[in-house]
Amino acid sequence: MIIRHDLELVFLHVPKCAGKELREILLIGAAADQGEELFNFAYSPILHRHVDLAHLPLADLVHWPQYQWLQRYTVIAAVRNPYERLSSAANEYFRPRCREDEATINGPGITAAMRRHYFSQLPLAHSQRDPRFIHSLPMTWFTHLGSKPMVDQILRCESLADDFQRLASRLELPAAMQDAAQASLRNRPLASEPPAPETGLDQLEAMLSHHLYAQDFATFDYPRHRSAEPSEIADDAAAELEPLLAALCPGKLSSHAIPILERADRVDWHWGPSSSREEAPCLAATRSVP
């Protein structure tokens, strides 16, 4: 998170969405008393857990004093195609784990076994808000407080250079910042159709994206690949998919048999009452029309 008091601007850092590039640009020319940055890790005695300060979901950020500036300043954030983002998050998980994994990521790339290992941990790690898995949390968790958008302007990775230049012109950002953006930012256009999953593991990854990021696809208008639905999943991926689906979509079970409670659409408690998860499938992307 970057706060520029002199520009009355806040940048919310959605993980794996060009955040590093944008942070460097938005800090250009910031006087010591005119800029704030949340970065590195800390333990929160309010949340009773360790957090990644650079990537705080808004439900966490609301407990920090810096949250007040979201209600006073212009707020921007960048988003990315959910399929690409999940793959990038898997890479990010292994990069700092050990030198051998970092060499694999920087060389031949993440292996199928590494991808499977990462995917298998996501449902539980997300429910625990484990900062080691922060990069694959849904994007709307960083741009919305519940169903309420807290961002005024969305930048898209596929049109990042163009989007930033339009933003810089409208907000009259400093020339040095605009020059740096022109030199370093680039557009990353999407294919007209998402690529079809080639292997069972690719199908599993696409299906996992659909479950984890249903709200992201709808809110930020990213196309979903129709072939990655349960009926289309190859037999060799079915065994891997079953435990993940059981955790992500627990179905109708007694309250104490549900593996990850927050994933349940409805919980029937043992003494009679029930509670239902009510979240809109599609949210307003920004606080106002651009």
The predicted-structure confidence for 40-81, as pLDDT tens digits, reads as follows 999 999 999 999 999 999 999 999 999 999 999 999 999 999
pLDDT of 261 higher than 90: yes
From residue 26, give the alpha-carbon distance in Å to each of 58, 146, 190.
20, 27, 25
Residue 278 lies in a domain: no
Residue 216 lies in a domain: no
Residue 272 lies in a domain: no
At residue 239 the predicted structure's pLDDT band, cuts being 50, 70 and 90, is: confident
Residue 256 lies in a domain: no
Residue 146 lies in a domain: yes
Mean pLDDT of the region 262-280 = 92
Q: What pLDDT, on the 0 to 100 scale, is given for residue 207?
A: 86
How many domains does the structure of the chain reveal?
A: 1
pLDDT more than 90, % of the chain: 71
Residue 54 lies in a domain: yes
Mean pLDDT of the region 167-171 = 96
pTM above 0.75, yes or no: yes
Residue 211 lies in a domain: no
Q: What pLDDT, on the 0 to 100 scale, is given for residue 75?
A: 98
Residue 232 lies in a domain: no
Query: Domain residues for 164?
Result: 1-80+139-190
